[in-house]
Amino acid sequence: MQWKPEFSVGVEAFDQDHKILFDLVDQFEIAGTTGKSREHIAAVLDTLVDYTKTHFKREEDMMEKYGYAGLQAHRHAHSRLAKQVTDFCTLYEGGDTSITNDLVAFMNNWLQIHILDEDMDYKEFLGGKEV
Ligand SMILES: [Fe+2]
């Protein structure tokens, strides 16, 4: 999946993060479907999970900086999603690589929900401000 202009949340740094996240999901899909080693696939997955957490922290820090009213709700959404991703990864790393496609579909869907349902809520308030 590709980032599209309508995904823009009005904060350049976060648009960049979202592009990188889509890219990492793609890399994971490629690694998982082209017969790469388990170690390689696990390394891509780790990078994806780490970047997700870094991105969430960056968003929360900015919300805090400007006193965004939706911070608590957003924080909850972030920790819920981070847990889902981590659970999925634990399953994946513990066993069957045939779930690669499910995991890719989940990640792409999850990323779209994160951007379009949740991040769009802060667009008006944080858009154009300094991170
Ligand atoms: Fe985001």
Distance (Å) from CA 114 to ligand 1 centroid: 6
Q: How far apart are CA 63 and CA 95, in angstroms?
A: 38
pLDDT at 96 over 80: no
pLDDT at 95 over 80: no
130 class by beta-carbon count within 10 Å (0-12 exposed, 13-18 middle, 19+ buried): exposed
Distance (Å) from CA 59 to ligand 1 centroid: 7
Q: Is residue 131 assigned to a domain?
A: no
Q: Higher-confidence residue: 114 or 69?
A: 69
Q: Is residue 52 assigned to a domain?
A: yes
CATH number for the domain that contains residue 45: 1.20.120.50
Q: How far apart are CA 22 and CA 64, in angstroms?
A: 26
Number of structural domains (the chain) is: 1
Q: Is residue 3 assigned to a domain?
A: no
Q: Is residue 65 assigned to a domain?
A: yes
Distance (Å) from CA 66 to ligand 1 centroid: 16
Q: Is residue 5 assigned to a domain?
A: no
Distance (Å) from CA 35 to ligand 1 centroid: 31
Q: Which domain holds residue 101?
A: 11-126
Distance (Å) from CA 55 to ligand 1 centroid: 7
Q: How far apart are CA 96 and CA 107, in angstroms?
A: 17
pLDDT at 113 over 70: yes
